[in-house]
Amino acid sequence: MEETFAFKHPWVLIHLLWIPLIFVYWVKTWTPPKSLIYTTANEHPKVQIPPHVIPLFFRSLCLASILLGIAQPQRVYTHRQCQSSGIDLILALDLSSSMRVPDFAVNQFQRVTRIQAAKAVIAEFIQQRQHDRIGLVTFARYPYLVSPLTLNHAWLLKNLDRLNAGLIEDGTAIGSAITMCVNRLKDLQAKTRIIILLTDGVNNCGNVAPVMAAEVAEHFQAKIYTIVVGNDQFFPVDEQTLVQVAEKTGGRFYRAYDVSTLKQIYKEIDQLEKTKISLEGHTTCAELFTLCLWLALAFFSLEQILKNSRYRTLP
């Protein structure tokens, strides 16, 4: 909800420009009555203010308040409701011990571990998908649900930040991870279901083969994007299986050796699965003109009180 301040008839405010001129005119043309000016002050103030100026000042404020009321000030509340195309997305992240290998180049002089690079790029990706429900699954020997599908991306990012590789029982259960993701997506009403799986190894444990899990994903209309990070100099990578998993579900396979390439991959996926947003909204107004009228009454009352007390005239 957005809150703004506006005038329904702003053209009336032009007349406020006349108030200083009218005030000056009243002061210049005022002539003291042929009577005594009575003041309750025992001593003359250091700064001599003509006794008629103060009441005229409040009369001017009264007139200005009336004009503001005629302009009809309003506090406008805009209620907006976001209608998205309905994309539900689960990120599957490999936390096997090999993800701690520091072979990911940030630049010519700096390298980070695979998990550090993956977490940084995934966090940036989440921040770009403000209107999507996103879940997070991690896996090593077994898959774990870190976060169900949620729009609370701040909470999701906190859970992502605390993850690290090698803290759970080692292994790479890619098929089991895909199965868990599908189980989280299959009963939802979203028009588009996406799984983005990032790994650096070969499926070597679990009860479900990756291709079989992909067939289940295809049945439930879930598209899988597979990403392999790092090189296979020390750890083998089954690219062929990951290509089959992606192609069977209508997704794509990617390979990343450095941070810039990984960022480009997630950027491309972001463009391929762009969320269509439409905004529906309505506005409500809280009228403030009565406040202006009360101010006008207060200034008029002050003028009358001053004219009949401190600055009253005696015949």
Q: What is the pLDDT of residues 188-205, one digit of tens each?
A: 877 889 999 999 989 999
Q: 88: closest CA among 185, 155, 186?
A: 185
pLDDT average, residue stretch 100-105: 90
Compare 30 and 69 and report the one with higher pLDDT.
69
CB count in 10 Å sphere of residue 284 = 11
pLDDT digits (tens, 9 = 90+) for 121-142: 999 999 999 888 999 999 999 9
> Minimum mean pLDDT among 12-16, 36-40, 216-220: which range?
36-40
pLDDT over 70 percentage in the chain: 86
User: Looking at the predicted structure, is the pLDDT value of residue 63 above 50?
Assistant: yes
What mean pLDDT is reported for the chain? Answer: 85
Please give the CATH architecture assigned to the domain spanning 86-275: 3-Layer(aba) Sandwich (3.40)
* Burial (Cβ within 10 Å: 0-12, 13-18, ≥19) of residue 172: buried
Compare 72 and 41 and report the one with higher pLDDT.
72
pLDDT at 147: 95
User: Looking at the predicted structure, is the pLDDT value of residue 85 above 70?
Assistant: no
pLDDT band, residue 36 (cuts 50/70/90): very low
pLDDT at 47: 47
Cα separation, 144 vs 275, in Å, equals 27
User: Looking at the predicted structure, is the pLDDT value of residue 313 above 70?
Assistant: no
User: Looking at the predicted structure, is the pLDDT value of residue 25 above 50?
Assistant: yes
pLDDT average, residue stretch 309-315: 65
Query: Which tokens belong to 9?
Result: 């008839």
The full set of domain ranges for the chain reads 2-78+282-314, 86-275
User: Looking at the predicted structure, is the pLDDT value of residue 118 above 50?
Assistant: yes
User: Which residues neighbour 256 within 8 Å (Cβ) at sequence distance 6 or greater?
Assistant: 227, 228, 229, 262, 265
Compare 46 and 70 and report the one with higher pLDDT.
70
**Beta pairing partners, 226:** 197, 253
**In contact, 92 and 233? CB cutoff 8 Å:** no
pLDDT at 305: 87
**In contact, 174 and 199? CB cutoff 8 Å:** yes
User: Looking at the predicted structure, is the pLDDT value of residue 279 above 70?
Assistant: no
pLDDT band, residue 209 (cuts 50/70/90): very high
Cα separation, 69 vs 287, in Å, equals 10
**In contact, 98 and 114? CB cutoff 8 Å:** yes
Helix-strand-coil percent breakdown of the chain, rounded to 5? 40, 25, 30
Sign of CA dihedral 251, 256, 262, 265: negative
**In contact, 95 and 165? CB cutoff 8 Å:** yes
Distance of CA 103 to the CA centre of its chain: 35
SS3 160: helix
- Tokens 């994903």 found at: 217
At position 103, the amino acid (one-letter code) is D
pLDDT over 90 percentage in the chain: 45
> Minimum mean pLDDT among 23-37, 56-70, 165-179: which range?
23-37
Q: 100: closest CA among 116, 121, 83?
A: 116
pLDDT digits (tens, 9 = 90+) for 153-177: 999 999 999 999 988 899 999 999 9
